[in-house]
């Protein structure tokens, strides 16, 4: 990381002012602040995208927080009609939870391999991660088709489908991203040990989606 940032700082500096340090602004810089300065600017340009993604994920998380708050309030104050129940089958969703947690781990291994310049190993881990994501989605589908209630049956059913469906959309998007990133790790692709923003972004997003699922599993299935 440090080698990347310093080199880019150097290139930015060399390009920026050919007749360097003759501008009046430079004279305003206190002596000895240059070291600090170049480091700051380098960090900025390399971190902003992941930082931006993290900010966006905070926003995305707030959407889920709104859904969770709605679900918990409904559950606390709105009685269900006679005969309906909050009980759900636990086995399949628990397997699904394990699949997602393992996929977070495998994605982490993919990231490690990529940073260690072992791209084919990274690709294998990515394919395992993507496979686990697809298995999760398949499990979700099986659950949807075997549940005894439909979208409009009662308030719990509607909230259940809205929450898991919205999360499922995120998993689908994540699986697509993993596929793209896996393609990019092929020789000559966009991802290499020195340039792997796409992989890091997908990894951050995937961990986020997994984290949301853990909360969702807790309040929908266990509570």
Partner 1 sequence: MTVATPRELEPQLQEPLQPAGWLRYFSFSLDHKVIGLQYLVCGFFFYLVGGLLAGAIRTELATPLSDFMPRDTYNEVLTLHGTVMIFLWIVPVVNGAFGNYLIPFYVGARDMAFPRLNAVAFWMIPPAGLLLISSYFLAGAAAQSGWTAYPPLSLTTPAAGQIVWILSVLLLGGSSIFGAVNFIATVLKLRRPGLKLMQLPMYCWAMLGTSLLVVLSTPVLAGVLILLSFDIIAHTGFFNPALGGNVVVYQHLFWFYSHPAVYIMVLPAFGLVSEILPVHSRKPLFGYTTMVYSIMAIVFLGLIVWAHHMFTSGTPPWMRLFFTIATSFIAVPTGIKFFNWLATLWGGKIALNSAMLFSCGFILNFVFGGITGITLAQVPFDIHVHDTYYVVGHFHYIVYGGTVFVIFASLYHWYPKFTGRLLNEDLGRLHFVLTFIGFNLCFLPQHWLGLNGMPRRVAEYDPTFSTLNQVSSVGALIMAISTLPLLINVVVTALYGTPAGDNPWNALTPEWLTTSPPPVENWSGEAPLVTEPYGYGQHQPAGPSSHPLTPAA
Those residues with Cβ within 8 angstroms of residue 109's Cβ, 6 or more apart along the chain or in another chain = 125
Q: Is 2 in the site for partner 1 (CB under 8 A)?
A: no
Contacts (CB under 8 A) with partner 1, residues 135-154: 151-152, 154
Site string for partner 1, 77-116 (x = CB under 8 A): xxxxx-----------------------------------
Q: Decide: 134 and 200 in contact? Cβ < 8 Å.
A: no
Measure the CA–CA gap between 17 and 158, rounded to whole angstroms.
Answer: 61
> And the tokens for 116?
């260690």
Q: Is 117 in the site for partner 1 (CB under 8 A)?
A: no
Q: Decide: 189 and 198 in contact? Cβ < 8 Å.
A: no
Measure the CA–CA gap between 188 and 134, rounded to whole angstroms.
Answer: 27
Q: What minimum distance in Å lies between the beta carbon of 157 and partner 1? A: 9
Q: Binding partner 1 by CB under 8 A: which of 1, 10, 47, 90? A: 47
CA angle 80/87/136 to nearest 5° reads 120
Q: Is 173 in the site for partner 1 (CB under 8 A)?
A: no
Instruction: Report helix, strand and coil shares of the chain as percent, to nearest 5.
Output: 80, 0, 20
Q: What minimum distance in Å lies between the beta carbon of 106 and partner 1? A: 28
Binding site for partner 1 (CB under 8 A): 8, 11-12, 14-18, 23-26, 28-30, 33-34, 36-38, 40-41, 43-45, 47-49, 51-52, 55-56, 58-67, 69-70, 73-74, 77-81, 151-152, 154-155, 158-159, 162, 166
């Amino acid at each position: 990381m440090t080698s990347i940032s310093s080199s880019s700082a150097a290139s930015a500096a060399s390009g920026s002012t050919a007749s360097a340090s003759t501008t009046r602004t430079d004279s305003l810089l206190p002596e000895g602040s240059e070291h600090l300065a170049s480091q700051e600017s380098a960090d900025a340009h390399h971190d902003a995208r992941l930082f931006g993604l993290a900010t966006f994920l905070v926003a995305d998380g707030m959407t889920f927080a709104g859904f969770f708050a709605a679900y918990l309030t409904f559950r606390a104050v709105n009685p269900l009609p006679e005969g309906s129940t909050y009980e759900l089958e636990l086995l399949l969703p628990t397997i699904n939870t394990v699949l997602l947690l393992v996929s977070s781990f495998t994605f982490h291994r993919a990231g490690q391999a990529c940073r260690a310049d072992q791209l084919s190993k990274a690709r294998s881990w990515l394919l395992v991660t993507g496979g686990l994501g697809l298995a999760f989605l398949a499990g979700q589908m099986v659950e949807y088709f075997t549940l005894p209630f439909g979208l409009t049956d009662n308030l719990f059913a509607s909230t259940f489908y809205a929450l898991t469906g919205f999360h499922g959309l995120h998993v689908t998007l994540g699986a697509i991203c993993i596929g793209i990133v896996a393609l990019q790790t092929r020789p000559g692709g966009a991802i290499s040990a020195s340039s792997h923003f796409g992989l890091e972004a997908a990894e951050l997003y995937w961990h986020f989606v997994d984290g949301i699922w853990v909360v969702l599993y807790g309040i929908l299935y266990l509570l």
